[in-house]
A and B are shown apart, each in its own frame.
Chain A
Amino acid sequence: MSRFDILVTYDVNTETSEGRKRLRKVAIACQDYGQRVQKSVFECRVTQSQYEKLSHRLYKIIKPNQDSIRFYKLLGGRENCVESFGVDTFVDFDDPLII
């Protein structure tokens, strides 16, 4: 049950109201598994089964001929793969969480 980091990015066509609805649903699904780091970019730390669940759920929401979703697997962990400049709202959920 090892976990790995993934990057989820998406483009959802928002010309129609159904499109905007899909966009919201995609964001909620991503939020359930990770956190928003840019407007349509999420970083998630998941197990293989959580990854399958998330990708399946997203696949059911989107319209394949109008929208696109990409998963990037950050092999080697996000600390080695990600360099960030500017505003960074990322919180490591594995660090001590004390509020």
Chain B
Amino acid sequence: MKVVLNTLYIQTHGAYLHLDHETLKIKTEERNHQFPLHHLGGIVLFGNVSISPFLIHRCAADGRDVIWLSEYGTFQARLSGKTTGNVLLRRAQFCLSQNDQGTLDTAKYMLAGKLQNTRHVLQRAGREAKGDSDQIPLNECAELYRQSIHNCQNANDLDQLRGIEGYAAKSYFAVFSHMIRSNRDVFSFTERSKRPPKDPINALLSFAYTLLANECIAACEGVGLDPQVGFLHTIRSGRPALALDLMEEFRVILGDRFVLTVINRNQIKPDDFIDRPGGAVYLTENGRKTFLTAYQKRKQEEVPHLLLKEKIPLGLVPHVQARLLARYIRGDTPAYQPFILR
């Protein structure tokens, strides 16, 4: 089985990365680092970091991800090498996306996974919450999710399905702040805001989703699926619709739940944020470092996979699911089984 390779995050202003034999060398003003390439599955660069053309070529050849983010963590570009993978698989994917019933079924499987995982998170938060003022809304929302899962099975078309999702998501974010236990005055959550995030929670959510989306794109690319041809998300120029579909089932596990953990454990504190003109809120360099360290640790935690019946690192789950998705698209299995975290 595939090893979860490490991801290297470079956020030091003015760093320069280059290839030296089989190693990656990093020059910064303070000190130099050297890593063997075979330890790295991906490189994420923040802001003003340069990388030598030969290193880019090498990463493209090896299928190692290189992702450029702005200094605030918004996605800018990613390295994409030669078109690889099985053309027959991609053709099967296109055919399935042309077929209305096929698209609806696939979207249902994916959404069911998301709803199920969200419900688990709500139930768990409900159990852990202290006091009725938090417990009751969380339990009510979990009950609504049970209903949504039921409705999702009976949906007749995509619009109906997206309606169910939208309604469920809205009620989820309405009770989101009941799951926050530390520094509630600063980490208050009213509504989801993006581009730009308008409060610390939204800044964290957006950042986590950016990291997760990149991993899902990489997972799709890795098995030879076209990350842009999606089912639940509509196809739009430049939008990685399939990767976003795949991401739905992990969003609450590696995104929301993770963000709540770093806040509730006091790992991320109110002074880890800076306000920018126009009401935007961003993480400081230090805060970003804490966040990324926790994220990497989280990805190494092993979780049980219901279908494989073994424990795998959380970071590997998107790759495993992409493989299961490919199997389903190819017609080897009758249904796609989303990842459910127990």
Residues of A within 8 A of B (CB): 1-3, 28, 31-35, 44-47, 50, 91, 93-99
Residues of the A chain whose Cβ atoms lie less than 8 Å from the Cβ of B190? none
Are the C-beta atoms of B36 and A1 separated by less than 8 Å? no
| Contact between B23 and A97, CB atoms less than 8 A apart | no
Contact for B21 among A1, A28, A91, CB less than 8 A: A28
Interface 9-mer from B1-9, B71-79, B122-130, B224-232? B1-9
Interface 0/1 of B296-313, CB less than 8 Å to A: 110010000000000000
Q: Chain A contact residues: over half helix, strand or loop, or mixed?
A: mixed
When the two chains form their complex, are residues A99 and B26 in contact, meaning their CB atoms are under 8 A apart? yes
The answer to the question of B34 belonging to the interface, with a C-beta cut-off of 8 Å to chain A, is yes
Given contacts A94-B6, A97-B6, A98-B9, contact A31 B296 (CB under 8 A): no
Residue of A nearest to B49 (CB): A99
B8 touches A99 (CB 8 A): yes
Name the CB-closest residue of B to A96.
Answer: B296
B267 on the A face (CB < 8 A): no
**How far apart sit A96 and B292, CA to CA, in the bound complex (Å)?**
8
Task: Give the docked Cα–Cα distance between A88 and B1 (Å).
Answer: 33
Using Cβ atoms and an 8 Å threshold, which residues of chain B touch A95?
Answer: 6, 296
The smallest C-beta distance from B186 to any residue of chain A, in angstroms, reads 24
Residues of A within 8 A of B26 (CB): 99
Instruction: Please give, as numbers and ranges, the residues of chain A lying within 8 Å of B281 by CB-CB distance.
Output: none
Counting contact residues on chain B (CB < 8 A from A), the size range is 20 to 34
B38 in the interface (beta carbon within 8 A): yes
Contact B36 A98 (CB under 8 A): no
Q: Is the interface of B mostly helix, strand, loop or mixed?
A: mixed
B contacts, CB < 8 Å to A: 1-3, 6-12, 15, 21-23, 26, 28, 33-40, 289, 292-293, 295-297, 300
Which B residues are CB-close (under 8 A) to A98? 9-11, 289, 292-293, 296
Selected A-B contacts with CB under 8 Å, 27 pairs: A1-B1, A3-B3, A31-B34, A31-B36, A32-B21, A32-B23, A33-B36, A34-B36, A45-B39, A91-B33, A93-B35, A93-B39, A95-B296, A96-B295, A96-B296, A96-B297, A97-B9, A97-B35, A98-B9, A98-B10, A98-B11, A98-B289, A98-B293, A99-B9, A99-B10, A99-B15, A99-B26
Q: Point out the residues of chain A lying under 8 angstroms from B6, CB to CB.
A: 93-97
B257 to chain A, nearest CB (A): 19
Contacts of B33 in A (CB 8 A): 91, 99
* B3: A residues at CB distance < 8 A: 1-3, 47
Docked pose: A34 CA to B34 CA in angstroms: 10
A35 partner residues in chain B, CB cutoff 8 A? 34, 36
Give the residues in chain A near B7, CB-CB below 8 Å: 97
CB neighbours of B9 from chain A (8 A)? 96-99
Known: A47-B3, A94-B6, A96-B9. 7 other contacts (CB 8 A): A1-B2, A1-B3, A31-B23, A46-B38, A94-B39, A96-B6, A96-B293
Residues of chain B with a CB closer than 8 A to A32's CB: 21-23, 36-37
Which residue of B is nearest A34, CB measured?
A: B36
Instruction: Write the chain A residue with the least CB distance to B43.
Output: A97
A99 CB contacts on chain B under 8 angstroms: 8-12, 15, 26, 28, 33
